[in-house]
Structure 1
């Protein structure tokens, strides 16, 4: 039976490890600066002593992370709602595969909702491109995150993918620990949420050879995450423009930090999470297909739930009518909604020194695509 030792390079910290990690963290100057930024009204020494008193991962999450995320919800959203979690068994473990909008908050909000609905929090897959400093790695691993290694040579990437696949299966089947992972590498930049078959191939690497049974063992639950407003939308739109001009363009670590900070601090309007149904019953439909067809069909099964359970806001319908140059969804919004959405879009494109017409077009398609996917247009 696999043990935690096998996964040391990627797994989160366990209860017996966190005190030593925190002792190292509070000696990091940039971590102290982060504490001063996040908690300006609390003396650093007082917060450091609070950290040192923690003896379990649950205590870290519920005592420190939970109240901070609740403050983010209070100060930057008009509420975070959910549905579907009450239909899942808190005694079971699930692999939540979701669309991806925000670097930090997608999984953070999910864990708040899991906790409030009587479930254990999930472990979180996080790309190593975001772990810019060693102390950031330590911090996220305190918060039940495991590391997805990227941009490796082919042989190392294969080994890393196998290790992660085995770890995720170990979590679900042995540790009875739910896992959250995005349906694709990186966030969706255009609102067109699609599950990458490469993700499904990775998950299946640790299977027993039987495609259907291997995925049934993982108990996949598609998860839809719907933000009324995406604080980073104009940055994503600008990135799309830069990539059109230069296909080799890539964000820098400083850009990633900017996206993380803006995602946390920016206004989001209403936020909704919808957990779908475990897909196990549908997997039997795939047993007679060849492997490529199985992967394609499985991605479609996951996407169908993500698309159908997506919460569409007035801005999504306004954008859809704008893109299609009609009024098909005019009954879904008011004149006040139009004025508010257009003001929001204009405010965001004003922050970027680029072609405003192109930026507006990209943003409108970004908000319209969930409508297109919901109605199968």
Structure 2
């Protein structure tokens, strides 16, 4: 398939480009070091042999990343489940919009779930260029079906970049017959109060045909709820919140991003469940004729409602609610043993935070809020 040249800077590599990129990666010293750590039992020659046999990006995912991700599920969690029963036609292409918990694994586990549930392909992934710290990372993610979201731009450049990305997403869904994964907001919600940013929807609507409703319907948007029992990065997020509170203009460094990626991948996650909502095309149709700004607000609300409704809650979510407001209103959802286990978990996570003027009460409140918000939003969504 001929892909328009305007997408060259941001799109995943095409199958024709893969052989050269494989050789560049295999000869990169930094990449070789990472492979020794991540695949200690796999000689570089064996990896090279497997890669060179891959003809498409999907081949690479199935031959290498699929096994790696199942390995992470086995070693770092108590199991992963994926329910796609709300999707009636697996052969259509969809744009999955989800809450965002883990920099790498949200889209990785979604791809595993799609393969294991009989979908013909995985997802192309929106990834911020702030995470592409080394040349080998940029190459590897584009091999792994990622397209690049350009971040640090002027206002004019940002508009141009958003328009191009939107056109690419529409091209990928309608012409390449690919699924897309994009987070509902820029970056992870540090407090797990998951809300879709109108700006994400405005970007998605820029590149399609017809009016806003037609353009969004073209993408077959499916809200996706990601529920991790434990967030390995919870203490890092709390630490960042205190730093932002105490240090004017605090910004995470590239090293911080790498630590977050590593901690998220290899930290303990407990149980993991991903749940798709239905494709929202019928709901979009009911908004036709509304003013444009109101459409985006209403679409955000529709997506949020599905995401909140479809969370899978764990004892920790209910315990955090009760600990935050000093009540016992959620005790039917957990045991005394669950509570003791979560309190021990909380203490352990607080102990990992190593910063000056450590404000334990504030940090504890931050982590409790992260676990409580999904329960608060879920209960609200069920009532509506």
Normalised TM-score (structure 1): 0.97
Gaps of 5+ in 1: none
Secondary structure in 2 matching 1:181: strand
In structure 1, the residue matched to 2:109 is 109
**Alpha-carbon deviation of 1:25?**
0.7
In structure 1, the residue matched to 2:125 is 124
User: Following superposition of structure 1 onto structure 2, how do residues 152-301 of structure 1 map, counting pairs within 5 Å?
Assistant: 152-301=153-302
CA contact (8 A) 2:86 2:277 kept: no
**What are the superposed Cα offsets for residues 24-45 of structure 1, whole Å, 9 maximum, x if unpaired?**
1111110000000001122223
CA distance in 2, matches of 1:310, 1:75: 23
Secondary structure in 2 matching 1:286: coil
In structure 1, the residue matched to 2:96 is 96
CA distance in 2, matches of 1:16, 1:211: 35
In structure 2, the residue matched to 1:3 is 3
Which has the larger displacement, 196-205 or 211-220?
211-220
Number of corresponding residues: 377
In structure 2, the residue matched to 1:351 is 352
Rate the CA distance shift 1:79–1:4 in 2: closer, same or farther, 3 A: farther
CA distance in 2, matches of 1:349, 1:21: 42
CA contact (8 A) 2:317 2:374 kept: yes
Normalised TM-score (structure 2): 0.95
Gaps of 5+ in 2: none
**Alpha-carbon deviation of 1:72?**
0.2
CA distance in 1, matches of 2:324, 2:290: 37
| CA RMSD between the two structures | 1.5
**Alpha-carbon deviation of 1:192?**
0.1
User: Following superposition of structure 1 onto structure 2, how do residues 142-157 of structure 1 map, counting pairs within 5 Å?
Assistant: 142-157=143-158
Rate the CA distance shift 1:88–1:258 in 2: closer, same or farther, 3 A: farther
**Alpha-carbon deviation of 1:265?**
0.6
Rate the CA distance shift 1:32–1:88 in 2: closer, same or farther, 3 A: farther
CA contact (8 A) 1:86 1:117 kept: no
In structure 2, the residue matched to 1:46 is 46
In structure 2, the residue matched to 1:329 is 330
Q: Which of 353, 363, 367 is the matching residue for 2:371?
A: 367
**Alpha-carbon deviation of 1:208?**
3.2
**Alpha-carbon deviation of 1:88?**
3.6
Which has the larger displacement, 279-288 or 175-184?
279-288
CA contact (8 A) 1:2 1:170 kept: no
